[in-house]
């Protein structure tokens, strides 16, 4: 795996496109790998989980899950917070497409905004959603941030 956490303000943060977490063996391996890297916060993209399944990620080292799910078993982002952190979610905003989750929170006594954002084609920043959305990715991002 070429996935490595980045340290910021003494927090270890990782971002990973997992390409699906519906397989329980794969889900457990990914959560174990993230734990082995001593990651405090993990931004996970393409979870392919339904809303009721996203909270099942809150196990082991994970103390909080903020998730945005797409329709059916596609898309989806999840922000995983280690249970050892002093964490409080103050406010959340997400898009309906399951591509963005913003959280205003307190971590270790500091107020921060965590943004987990994923688009299907980063090389075409003004692309339309594959599900026929009439709004471009920047428009959807703006609308999600504006609601925040």
**Alpha-carbon 141 to chain mean position:** 14
User: By the 8 A CB rule, do 126 and 137 touch?
Assistant: yes
Per the annotation, binding residues for Mg(2+) are 17, 46
**Alpha-carbon 69 to chain mean position:** 10
Per the annotation, binding residues are 17, 46
DSSP result, 29-55: HHHHHHHHTT-SEEEEE-----HHHHG
């Amino acid at each position: 795996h070429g996935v490595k956490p980045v340290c910021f303000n003494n927090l270890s943060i990782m971002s990973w496109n997992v390409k699906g977490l519906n397989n329980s063996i794969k889900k457990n391996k990914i959560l174990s790998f993230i734990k082995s890297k001593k990651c405090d916060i993990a931004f996970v993209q393409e979870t392919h989980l339904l809303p009721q399944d996203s909270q099942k990620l809150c196990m082991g080292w994970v103390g909080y899950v903020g998730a945005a799910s797409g329709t059916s078993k596609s898309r989806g982002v999840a922000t995983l917070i280690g249970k050892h952190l002093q964490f409080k979610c103050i406010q959340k905003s997400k898009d309906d497409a399951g591509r963005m989750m913003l959280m205003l929170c307190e971590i270790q006594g500091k107020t921060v905004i965590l943004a987990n954002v994923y688009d299907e084609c980063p090389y075409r920043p003004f692309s339309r959603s594959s599900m026929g959305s009439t709004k471009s990715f920047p428009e959807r991002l703006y609308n999600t941030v504006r609601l925040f």
